[in-house]
Chains A and B, each alone.
Chain A
Amino acid sequence: MGILSITALSKKFNDSYAVKNMDYQFTPHQCIALIGPNGAGKTTTLRMIAGLLKPTSGNIIFEQNKNIDRRTLIGYLPQHPVFYPWMTGSEFLTYSGQLGGLSKSTSRKRCEELLDIVGIIDVKDKRISSYSGGMKQRLGIAQAMVHKPKLLMLDEPVSSLDPIGRREVLTLMEVLKKEMTILFSTHILSDADEISDELILLRNGEIIESGKIKELRQKYQTTKITLQFAERQTFYEEKIATLANVRNTLVEKDSIQVIANDITKARNEILQRAVQEDWPLLTFRLEQASLEEMFMKAVNHS
């Protein structure tokens, strides 16, 4: 049962598609990363789901219900959140909560709670015009959560933060994941790798790959073994090249890359020979595909 399903979603600006024919089922309580280079359609997708833009075609259905205003169930943080500079942080958050359907007193209470969680409670009565970038980002996250949404959408939540702020936001997202579904966009692959359960890879407005991170890893698993020897590298390289399950070898500066037909068999073979013949082996590494390689591979595939 999906929390949100998008089908054949497209958005056309003038004559070009910003998002094209996108389908996806969102599972509850997952953290989903929307990855892609700049201009891939990440922001347009998020803005359509948030209701800020109207799709040119296609459907966005929240919890199988067409008739609800899905904005009541969605929290959204734009890439560069802007507030009313003449308001104080606590005023804005209370206002935001009231717009989200809370009564004034409930909104006030919720506001105190949230300002504490995001860590700007000590500047709550200062004008937003005096806030730093990090404080605004936190206030932005707080306003997105103020009406307890089921889906939290964050557009590049950490890319404008310093390393400490970045760490704090990632930790916060880790906690929030337990209460709601999080959909966030990023072009920093390691961030996605760190906290998300699912990935959607976008290019030119289209999904080129998507699914659970674990499954994607398997799919794009590299059949590559990296070896390092203490001496006579080329000598061993020639030996390895003759092994049955090895397809190809490549000598790099101080290591040998082995491309195998069957990674498990090749691994056993090499290790057996190494023990039998007492090879001066320094490093033996099966390369896990990093997200970056996966991304490049997916991009090249399509």
Chain B
Amino acid sequence: MTTVLFKKELLENWRNKKWIWVPLVFILLAIMDPITNYYLPEILDAVGGIDGAVIELPDFSPADAIMMSVSQYSTLGVLVTVLLSMGAISSERKSGVLDLVLVKPVSYTKFVVTKWLSLLSLIWSSFIIGMLASWYYTVLLYGEIPFTMLLAVIFYYGLWLTFICTISIFYNTLTHSPGLVAFLTIGTTLVISLLTSLFGTRTAWSPANLSTHLQELLITGDVPSALIYSAIVSILLIILILFASIYSFKQVLHNRNE
């Protein structure tokens, strides 16, 4: 059953070209900053330069370059993820096609989990491809960085993206308006980031700190214990929210008047 549902998701994302444009967007986001920063002096010269002014451009290390990609994902990457996922379940409910699926003996749990997995497969694939592109340009333009570092970035930052996808799936089960899902997901992410920075070291374990700790990892080369804690907390929250999604999906659908 899960395979049947999953194959349908794959086919849908293939037909609406998501398997093409999402990886392209992620590649673009990843390589944009490393490349423009590298060529900034030439770009400034080409537009005529600034007379008399001496511009000190910082020297970027390979770790800085990788972090440029990560910081792009933290803003635009998250936005793309939210826009991609906002209709995952809600739009099917809004159109009514969900009824034709759920009158068949389909498990509600499997349905939600499949939606989640299909979203993750698209986001993770695109993210990995994007980070490989970032790594390629980093090595080319800024110097060597161990591949294991890249894997660590992919794993830990991937958790943050997974966390956002899971929140989005949760809101998808609550409402049938994709716009509201996007709004609530972005709102929740912002609140979590805000609280995390507000409470400083006391919330070092927050999922929103994954990218902060990653920076430390890239600079020192050691895995900071706070990163491990953040990762564990993230995984636990992801599981919790996924269960909550399954529960709310059943409750909301069984009692809707539409």
Contacts and interface: CB of A to CB of B under 8 A. Distances in A.
A50 interface: yes
B99 A52 contact: yes
Contact of A99 (B1, B15, B99, B253): B1
Contact of A52 (B5, B12, B15, B102): B102
A40 to B, nearest CB: 15
Interface string B93-110: 001110111111110000
Interface in B1-18: 1, 4-5, 8, 12, 15-16
A140 B99 CA distance: 12
Contact of B104 (A13, A18, A100): A100
Interface residues of A, number: 30
Main secondary structure of the interface of B (DSSP, over half): helix
B105 A86 contact: no
Interface in A58-98: 69, 71-72, 74-76, 78, 80-84, 86, 95-96, 98
A104 B146 CA distance: 46
A78 B102 CA distance: 12
Contact of A96 (B95, B104, B256): B104
A41 B254 CA distance: 16
Most A CB atoms within 10 A — which of B15, B99, B104, B105? B104
Interface string A247-271: 0000000000000000000000000
A53 interface: yes
Contacts of B105: 69, 71-72, 99-101
Contact of A86 (B15, B103, B104, B253): B15
B175 to A, nearest CB: 17
Contact of B257 (A18, A50, A54): A18
B41 to A, nearest CB: 48
B255 interface: yes
A52 B253 contact: yes
A83 B97 contact: yes
B250 to A, nearest CB: 8
B122 to A, nearest CB: 16
Contacts of B257: 13-14, 18
Nearest to A100: B104
Contacts of A72: 105
Interface string A36-62: 000000000000001111100000000
A86 B16 contact: yes
A98 B16 contact: no
B255 A54 contact: yes
B255 to A, nearest CB: 7
Most B CB atoms within 10 A — which of A76, A84, A143? A84
A84 B255 contact: no
B97 A147 contact: no
A80 B105 CA distance: 21
A54 B102 CA distance: 13
B103 A50 contact: yes
Contacts of A140: 100
Contacts of A78: 96, 99-100
Contacts of A13: 255, 257
A91 to B, nearest CB: 8
A95 B95 CA distance: 18
Interface string B165-180: 0000000000000000
Contact of A95 (B8, B15, B256): B8
Nearest to A99: B104
A113 to B, nearest CB: 18
B97 A99 contact: no
Given A18-B257, A52-B253, A99-B4, A82 B104 contact: no
A83 B100 CA distance: 8
Given A53-B255, A100-B105, A143 B4 contact: no
Contacts of B253: 52
Contact of B103 (A54, A74, A98): A74
A143 B100 contact: yes
Interface in A164-190: none
Contacts of B99: 52, 76, 78, 82
Given A69-B105, A95-B4, A143-B100, 8 more contacts: A14-B257, A51-B103, A54-B254, A71-B103, A84-B97, A95-B8, A99-B101, A147-B104
23 contacts: A18-B257, A50-B103, A51-B102, A52-B99, A52-B102, A53-B254, A54-B255, A72-B105, A74-B103, A75-B103, A81-B100, A82-B99, A82-B100, A83-B97, A84-B12, A86-B15, A95-B8, A96-B104, A98-B4, A99-B5, A99-B104, A100-B104, A140-B100
Interface of A: 13-14, 18, 50-54, 69, 71-72, 74-76, 78, 80-84, 86, 95-96, 98-101, 140, 143, 147
